[in-house]
């Protein structure tokens, strides 16, 4: 039995963490071993880089510096956590991965997709997920959920202006349309249980 690499993507406040937990349980119930992890982070070295990326002023890092830091964090995470789990035949469910860099530092930050994918080639030998679920929710609803979760404690990315978040959402949509085999758009409008059911359906051919 070979493991699968599944990533969850989308803007802030769409419910990725809740869905990650629910999906892990559902996939375990089908008899698979599951590792859950997140980016930036997921290994001690990558968690240290996460602290650099998430704290400080909104303009602490340029999009180029961010892309390099995310690629460095990802390199460590892939090497220490993701590839070993896949090699053991486990499923890896990851909250954000390369498509977040393509949407945030690319779509919103202005870097080209080819530059971002070149960094991914160097850092992580171009590892791509078997399936990527992009949770979609309109920006106002997502901002409400993020606020309810964080109590107004915003990190560097949540502090970005509205157009930045609109560009992120548009970039995720465009990528999903361009890669229908790997990526699936999942509406996050319903209850957590409804969103989990839609997500499981989008993994149906892999389970």
CA geometry: angle 159, 162, 168, nearest 5 deg: 90
Beta strands in the chain (DSSP E): 5-9, 34-38, 91-95, 131-136, 183-187
Q: Is 39 in the site for ligand TMP (CB under 6 A)?
A: yes
Kindly state the number of chain residues that form the binding site for ligand TMP, as judged by CB under 6 A: 10
Q: How far is the CB of 11 from ligand TMP (least distance, A)?
A: 8
Residues 143-162 touching ligand TMP, rule: CB under 6 A, are 157
Nearest to 142 by CA among 164, 163, 169, 161: 169
Complex with ligand TMP: residue 101 or 132, whichever CB lies closer: 101
Tokens 């404690």, located at residue: 153
DSSP 35: E
Nearest to 3 by CA among 34, 29, 25: 34
Residue 32 backbone phi and psi in degrees, to 5: -100, 150
Q: How far is the CB of 137 from ligand TMP (least distance, A)?
A: 14
Q: Is 12 in the site for ligand TMP (CB under 6 A)?
A: yes
Q: Give the residue, chosen from 7, 37, 100, 196, that forms a contact with ligand TMP under the rule CB under 6 A.
A: 100
Query: In a 3-state reduction of DSSP, which class is residue 67?
Result: helix
Q: Give the residue, chosen from 37, 101, 124, 136, that forms a contact with ligand TMP under the rule CB under 6 A.
A: 101
Residues 53-82 touching ligand TMP, rule: CB under 6 A, are 70
Q: How far is the CB of 30 from ligand TMP (least distance, A)?
A: 26
Residues that bind ligand TMP (CB under 6 A): 12, 39-40, 70, 96, 100-101, 104-105, 157
């Amino acid at each position: 039995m070979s493991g699968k690499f599944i990533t969850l993507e989308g803007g802030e406040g769409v419910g990725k963490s809740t869905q990650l937990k629910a999906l892990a349980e559902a996939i375990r119930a089908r008899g698979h071993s599951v590792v859950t992890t997140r980016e930036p982070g997921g290994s001690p070295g990558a968690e240290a880089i996460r602290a650099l990326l998430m704290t400080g002023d909104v303009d602490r890092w340029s999009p180029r510096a961010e892309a390099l830091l995310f690629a460095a964090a990802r390199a460590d995470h892939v090497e220490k956590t993701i590839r070993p789990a896949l090699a053991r035949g486990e499923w890896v469910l990851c909250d954000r991965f390369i498509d977040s860099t393509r949407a945030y530092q690319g779509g919103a930050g202005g870097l080209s997709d080819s530059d971002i994918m070149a960094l991914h080639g160097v850092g992580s030998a171009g590892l791509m997920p078997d399936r990527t679920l992009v949770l979609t929710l309109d920006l106002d609803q997502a901002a409400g959920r993020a606020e309810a979760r964080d109590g107004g404690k915003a990190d560097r990315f949540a502090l970005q202006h509205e157009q930045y978040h609109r560009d992120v959402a548009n970039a995720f949509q465009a990528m999903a349309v361009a890669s229908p085999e790997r990526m699936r758009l999942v509406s996050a409008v319903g209850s957590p249980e409804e969103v989990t059911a839609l997500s499981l359906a989008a993994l149906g051919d892999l389970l």
